[in-house]
Amino acid sequence: MFVASFLVLPVGLYLWLVIMPFIQAFQISLTDWSGYTTGFNYIGFDNFINMWDDPKQWVIPGFTHTGIILLVLPVIVIAMALFFAFMLNVGGRSQGGVSGVRGAGFYKIVYFFPQVLATAIIAIVWAQIYKPPTTGGLLASALEAVGLPYPENGFMGSTSLVLPGIIAVMVWSSVGFYLVYFSSAMAAIPQDIYEAARIDGASRTKTFFQITLPLLWESVQTAWIYLGIIALDGFVLVFMMTPSQGGPNHSSEVIGGAIYKFAFGSGNDAGMASAIGVVLFLAVLILTVVSLRVTRRERIEF
């Protein structure tokens, strides 16, 4: 009882500040509340049905593009971060002790640098890079200079390039953190294991897939979950970098942006925004449970 008495206040605050808003979101999703009135009516599950016939075309493209980001972002970031972490920690000279490539400490700082930048600064910098050459866009101007095709309206003005462009920025800003994260996990692997593999003549590729990756599997699982959360937060970049905050022609709509537009933008429908949030919450919950069960493996002690 003495110890439990110390938990009353933090548990009460957690219930009030975290659990209660979730419950309230479920309640609002069953109403026609606009978000700006004092009254509302309960309409059952109408919002959950009507969201799929959204005439504004925010919901379906939002779920589609968020699903693409959710599938692509973790795969690319984890693959790149694992490769760079392996090379900076184990991929050095083949003679002598196990070490990373020369200048590994410097490379870690360079890779980690985007992580210290605020998302707003990253969005402003890359919006400038993606601009058309007529307004000083760095990337399109470089392509024009070497005679390669480039989008005349800029990368954010192209319906086919805007979403890959957003994903590229998310990858660029995330790889450094997970490189350091995997490097820390690799530091816990005994050097004797790598030295024994090297004496047996194992190549770097074989060492990576048969030693490093199995021993880092729990760290990879954790990274996958966090990157899934980052994928759902992509609407900040979309709002600051794309025309019409999801354009052009809804080609970069994400579900976070659709919730914002319904709740605080021209959608003027807090009930619909809450219903989309509830669907997103359930989808993320199911995906998280499934991914953890599918990727679960027996823990390796070392």
> In this predicted structure, what is the pLDDT of residue 103?
77
DSSP line for 119-181: HHHHHHHHHHHTS-GGGT-HHHHHHHHTT----TT-GGG-TTTHHHHHHHHHHHHHHHHHHHH
227: exposed, middle or buried (Cβ count in 10 Å: 0-12, 13-18, 19+): buried
Q: What is the average pLDDT across 89-103?
A: 70
- Give per-residue pLDDT as tens, 161-198: 999 999 999 999 999 999 989 988 888 888 888 888 87
pLDDT more than 70, % of the chain:
96
- Give per-residue pLDDT as tens, 232-258: 878 889 999 998 888 888 899 999 999
Q: How far apart are CA 212 and CA 299, in angstroms?
A: 14
Structure tokens at 77: 């970031």
